[in-house]
Structure 1
Amino acid sequence: MNLFTDIRTLVLDAVGALAAEGRLPQGLSTDAVAVEPPRDPGHGDMATNAAMVLAKPAGQNPRAIADALAERLRADPRIQSAEPAGPGFLNLRLAPSVWQGVIRAVLTDPAYGRSTLGQGRRVNVEFVSANPTGPMHVGHTRGAVFGDALARLLAFAGWDVTREYYINDGGAQVDVLARSAYERYREANGLSPEIAEGLYPGDYLVPVGEALKEKYGDTLLDKPESEWLIPVRDIATDAMMGMIREDLALLGVQMDIYSSEKALYGTGRIEEAIDRLRSQGLIYEGILEPPKGKLPEDWEPREQTLFRSTAHGDDVDRPVRKSDGSWTYFAPDIAYHYDKTQRGFDLLIDVFGADHGGYVKRMKAAVSALTNGRVPIEFKLMQLVKLLKNGEPVKMSKRSGNFVTLRDVVEEVGADVTRFAMLTRKNDAPLDFDFDKVLEQSKDNPVFYVQYAHARAQSVLRKAREAGIEVDDPALEGVDLSRLGHEAEIKVAHTLAEWPRLVEIAAKGAEPHRIAFYLYDLASDFHSLWNRGNDDSSLRFLQEGDVDTSRAKIALVRAVAVVIASGLGILGVTPVNEMR
């Protein structure tokens, strides 16, 4: 059930009836007709723009259309009032029985809120993809939470979702990792490590050095780098990916696929992707213009193999092969995305850090060219997370080895708190993660406020059971919900009715933070109803001596718990039944 969709259908039926009567032209497009909550709740429960968008193609006054629609809609028992407003908007108030029906729908429809928006289409969500050079830090945490919540949201909205991690194990950074691990190997053999500038100094590589000693003893100590670099790199990379997998599991994130950049080299897959572009006349030999602004001291004009990305919306053409014949970092990325398009996905979504902003246009150009525009690709850039503790910033520096890891955060506040807090801002807005605030038990902490609403609902259900009142969903299906008529109760039902619509809005925009915002609003309405019961005994959920009214109120409580649990499931957060 989606009440907004149902009422929109009612409006379109009214438009069709007016056309059948000759009061509107036949064949009018109704694609732009919307039914939404009014900006001012005092104007009604819903508003439609039907008269406004139909006026011009119909060649009629919008107010006249609104009057005619209002007349027809008032005849429906679901519509309590229909009042034209302004130049042609139509404000609707729904009968209390409609809102009561929302509560019943939540209790009887296990799929309440789910959508068929995705229509089973396949979407690949690539996220995290941290370089395998150390444990995940707090910046990776935000991307991991966002990507996983987005995947859950899209699945809830009817997409067939694949979660993917692209291991950047083919570039220079893994050679730096190998050299760093080798110093820890020397340390394990009783020598002083020489952590030169540019190497990774973190203690997390100490176990890797010990593992290298266990496997090779001291046999690598006297060998040149050319002999030990590859085996040390492979062992170090595997160890780092094992650590990253453990970190993701700690956060409740499970990937479907891990793809390796290294696996693209020497297999012909990079060449295949570049040849695909070459066949379209998009690969050529040329010299790029110097960078705009200050000219780098080491810049010199040189011929390179270039991708004509400007033909697909990029600002400049991009090199794919250097003048020395080696591939640029962009070439394997092209091959990797070509591989994804070949796997039959209908949509690609890449979740990157904010420092990848300059990467977006070139990758969009590549995917557009590789698929002839058939497969769209979207990018979600994650802004930085500022850590605060005792009111002071918590500094981190990955290269210095003094950084706050994902594990540090989760072990201090828990995975559920971490996940919810990371989704309290839109992905492209900076986020302050205050260790004190996220554990604070107050309305100002959305994590606590939403969990507290679910726990309160569960406490009502427990007390009802203790009073001998059946509260399981089957027992509540036949409850007389007409006993719920107070404005505070109907307001909660209004918010419950928003859930299916909100899911679709969030899924269309790839914005899981909207789920967190919605849950906060629902929790606020529920807490408000609870608090009003302290002063007005008729609003208390258990009415002594009146089982039927109690069961109706319990049905509302149960509906709130169901939707909160559903929303928390999208966020990857476990609802709590008791606050401790």
Structure 2
Amino acid sequence: MNLFSDIRALVTDALAQMEQAGELPAGLDTANVTVEPPRDPAHGDMATNAAMVLAKPAGRKPREIAETLAARLAADPRITAAEVAGPGFLNLRLAPAEWQGVIRAALLAGADYGRSTMGNGTKINVEFVSANPTGPMHVGHTRGAVFGDALAALLDFAGHEVTREYYINDGGAQVDVLARSAYERYREANGLEPQIAEGLYPGDYLIPVGQALKEKYGDSLIDRPEEEWLAEIRVFATDAMMAMIRDDLALLGVRMDVFSSEKALYGTGRIEAAIERLRAAGLIYRGTLEPPKGKLPEDWEAREQLLFKSTAFGDDQDRPIQKSDGSWTYFAPDIAYHWDKIERGFDQLIDVLGADHGGYVKRLQAVVKALSNGRVPLDAKLIQLVRLFRNGEPFKMSKRAGTFVTLRDVVEQAGADVTRFHMLTRKNDAALDFDFARVLEQSKDNPVWYVQYASARVNSVLGKAAGQGVETSDAALAAADLARLDHPAELDLARKVAEWPRIVEISARAHEPHRIAFFLYDIASDLHSLWNRGNDEPALRFVQEGEAATTAAKIALVRAVGVVISAGLGILGVTPAREMR
């Protein structure tokens, strides 16, 4: 049940009746007509912009349309008042039975309350993390992993068919550096002093890899020329790093559906085939580029290169795909990889990228548009940095990785649930401060704790009601006399429950899972507020001594809030708390 969608349907039906009656011209587009909560709750329960968006195409004054529409809506038993405000906004007040009905619907739907068919089964590929397989995941990867996983869960909840994908960047020079670094640890395992030269990876995480290499090869590779061991150790070390990365992801509760390899694109003709597809469309040519911004012409050596005409699709400049020596640029395998995703039949692509990839977005969007003939959109979500603190002071842990704080360090300090929730308390493109003291403190200022406290409170209230002999199954509570929920504060909380399906759809359309975290904090605050009011107003207490029917209705409201919190935390990948410790 989505009450906001139901009332919007009521509004569009009334507009259709107005067209039939000649009160509006026929054929008006109502796609931009919305029904949403008013900015000021004092103005009503819902507001619609119908008159404002239809006035110009209808050639009518918005207030005239609003007044006619108000009269039609007021005739519906669900609407107790329809009031025109300002130049033509229309505020609606609903009968209490509508809000009470939302509680019943939430209890009957259970975990599926708020689940949407909006996505209509469209196939979306969410590619995220995609860290170079050269070491453990760091704190920046943590945020991208949480965001991508929560976004995938949100899109699934909204009715899309979602694939979580990791692109292994194992085709570049950094994997050769990994192999050389692992070789030094292999030498160390054989009792020699490792030569960790500048440019190699110094982290202790490669010591076990060196030991494993010794177990496999003994000392047979010692003092052998690099060309004899580089390729084999590269595969061995990459596999070891990917096993470590999979373990790190699992520690955070993230599991990928697909792992794709960049290296698998080379030598198979797939890069060449993707480039040929663009060439056939007249989008590949040989040419020279202008000097990069900030570089003087005399400092720039113009070279003829193979270029992709990305300016035809909104990019700032055309992009090289092959160097003057004939080797591919790093963009070329990305072209082939995105074509592969298109060929797998996805209707939409989402790439979750680090903030340092901002300048790369336009060329990716351009090539996806070119390869799919505009059919498949690509949304690139940039993940800003995470700054670590403790008690407000910058915090540095022991860096077992050599140069950075790892995902495992963060999860071991804060826990997976706390880490995941807090990583979603800011929009993805805003910097995020992670204060280890604050994310663990028990206060209203800590959204993780506050939402989990609400979850535990719901469970506690259900237990107390059961102790009073009240049947607390969802089916029994749905059958309660919900008309007893007539206090304005109780109806306000029911209104919040009613917003959940709408929030799911808005968040899914915008690809913004942080909205779910914000909403959970709001509904938790409303539940705590109602509980606290019960301390001063006995009639608002959830358990009413000797009043089983009234208690059942109040417990139904509390349980409905629990349904929403549980569903929201599920999208975020957080386990709801049953009790606070």
Q: Same fold (TM over 0.5)?
A: yes
Deviation at residue 365 of structure 1 after TM alignment: 1.2
Once the two structures are superposed, what CA deviation does each residue of 1:461-503 show, in whole Å capped at 9, x if it has no partner?
0111122211001111211101001111111111111101111
Contact kept, 8 Å, 2:352 with 2:381, in 1: the verdict is yes
Equivalence for 2:106: 106
Inter-partner Cα distance in structure 1 for 2:353 and 2:50: 40
- Equivalent residue, structure 1, for 2:24: 24
Q: Does 1:314 align with 2:310?
A: no
Q: Contact conserved, 2:426 with 2:432, CA < 8 A, in 1?
A: yes
TM-fit CA distance, 1:557: 0.7
Deviations 1:81-101 (A, max 9, x none): 111111111111111111111
The match for 1:40 is: 40
Which residues of 2 match residues 135-284 of structure 1 at below 5 A?
A: 135-284=136-285
Q: Deviations over 1:215-251 (max 9, x none)?
A: 1111111211111111111111110000000000000
Q: Give, in whole Å, the separation in 1 of the partners of 2:297 and 2:391.
A: 43
Q: Which amino acid aligns with 1:417?
A: V
CA distance in 1, matches of 2:119, 2:91: 30
Which segment drifts farther, 503-512 or 219-228? 219-228
Moved more, 177-186 or 305-314: 305-314
Name the structure 1 match of 2:88: 88
- Which secondary structure state, in structure 1, belongs to the residue aligned with residue 523 of structure 2? helix
Shift of 1:19: 2.8
C-alpha distance in structure 2 between counterparts of 1:116 and 1:525, whole Å: 28
- Distance in 1, matches of 2:370 and 2:58, equals 42
Q: State the secondary structure of the residue aligned to 2:82.
A: strand
Give 1:109 deviation, angstroms.
Answer: 2.1
The letter of the residue matching 2:269 is G
Tell me the residue number matched to 1:374: 375
Question: Quick one: distance in 2 between partners of 1:387 and 1:221?
Answer: 41
In 2 relative to 1, CA 26–294 (structure 1 residues): closer, same or farther, beyond 3 Å?
A: closer
2:3 match: 3
Does residue 569 (structure 1) correspond to residue 580 (structure 2)? The answer is no
Check conservation: 1:200, 1:399, Cα contact below 8 A.
no
How far is the alpha carbon of 1:393 from its aligned partner? 1.3
- Check 1:308–1:26 CA distance in 2 against 1; reply closer, same or farther (3 A cut): closer
Q: For 2:268 and 2:416, how far apart are their aligned partners in 1? A: 40
- Distance in 2, matches of 1:150 and 1:555, equals 30
1:429, 1:365 → 2: CA distance? Answer: 25
- 2:57 is aligned with what amino acid? P
Query: Is 24-33 or 111-120 further displaced after alignment?
Result: 24-33
Quick one: which amino acid aligns to residue 315 of structure 1?
D
Judge conservation of contact 1:287–1:301 (CA < 8 Å) in 2.
Answer: yes
**C-alpha separation between the residues in 1 aligned to 2:147 and 2:385?**
13
Give the SS at the match of 1:161: strand
**1:530 maps to 2:561:** no
- Choose 251-260 or 275-284, whichever is displaced more: 275-284
Is this contact kept in 2: 1:201–1:399, CA < 8 A?
A: no
Shift of 1:374: 1.2
| Counterpart AA for 2:41 | P
Given the alignment of the two structures, is residue 474 of structure 1 paired with residue 478 of structure 2, yes or no? no
SS in 1 for 2:259: strand
Q: Give the direction of change, closer, same or farther, for the CA distance of 1:512–1:489 in structure 2 (3 Å limit).
A: same
- For 1:128 and 1:578, how far apart are their aligned partners in 2? 33
2:481/2:549 contact within 8 Å kept: yes
CA shift digits 1:314-347 (9 cap, x unpaired)? 1111111111111111111111111110000000
Instruction: Summarize deviations over 1:361-400 as a string: whole Å, max 9, x none.
Output: 1111111111111111110000000010232213489898
Aligned to 1:12: 12
How far apart, CA to CA, are the structure 2 residues paired with 1:312 and 1:468? 67
Q: Who is 2:326 aligned against?
A: 325
SS of the counterpart of 1:248?
helix
Instruction: Name the CA distance, whole Å, in 1 between partners of 2:401 and 2:130.
Output: 21
Structure 2: runs of 5+ lacking an equivalent: none
C-alpha distance in 2 between matches for 1:504 and 1:353: 26
For 1:434, the equivalent position in structure 2 comes to 435
Asked whether the 8 Å contact 2:204–2:401 carries over to 1, the reply is no
- What residue is the counterpart of 1:59 in the other structure? 59
**Cα-to-partner distance string for 1:143-187 (whole Å, 9 max, x where unaligned):** 000000000000000000000000000100001111111111111
1:314 and 1:341 mapped to 2: Cα distance? 20
- Residues 512-569 of structure 1: per-residue CA shift (max 9 Å, x gap): 0000000000000000000001111111111011100000001001101001000000
Distance 1:16 1:305, change over 3 A: closer
Distance in 1, matches of 2:434 and 2:92, equals: 42
Give the Cα–Cα distance (whole angstroms) in 2 for the partners of residues 242 and 318 of structure 1.
34
Matched residue SS, 1:351: strand
- Aligned equivalents of 1:474, 1:348: Cα separation in 2: 40
Flag the 1:531–1:297 CA change in 2: closer, same or farther, 3 A. Answer: farther
Partner residue in 1 for 2:128: 127
Equivalents in 2 of 1:398, 1:509: separation in Å?
Answer: 36
Measured after TM superposition, the shift of residue 269 of structure 1 is: 0.7
Residue identity in the other structure for 1:24: L
**Structure 1 portions without partners, runs of 5+:** none
Partners in 2 of 1:55 and 1:357 — Cα distance?
40
Within 2, Cα distance between the matches of 1:521 and 1:379?
28
- Aligned-partner Cα distance in 2 for 1:322–1:358: 19
TM-score by length of 1: 0.98
Give the match for residue 504 of structure 1.
Answer: 505
Q: Which runs of 4+ in 1 moved over 3 A?
A: 295-299, 395-400
CA distance in 2, matches of 1:270, 1:569: 39
The C-alpha deviation readout for 1:14-34, integer Å capped at 9, x for no partner, is 222233333333333222221
**Cα distance, 1:447 vs structure 2:** 0.2
- Name the residue aligned to 1:355: 356
How many residues align? The count is 580
Instruction: State the match for 1:415 in structure 2.
Output: 416
Over residues 77-132 of structure 1, what are the superposed CA-to-partner deviations in whole Å (9 max), with x where a residue is unaligned?
21111111111111111111111111111011243211111110100000000000
2:301 maps to 1:300 = yes
* Contact map agreement 2:205 2:401 (CA 8 A) in 1: no
Could you tell me how far apart the structure 2 residues matched to 1:321 and 1:397 are?
A: 42
SS at 1:386's partner residue?
strand
TM-score, normalised via structure 2 length: 0.98
Report the Cα distance in structure 1 between the residues aligned to 2:573 and 2:297, rounded to whole angstroms.
46
Letter of the structure 1 residue corresponding to residue 73 of structure 2:
L
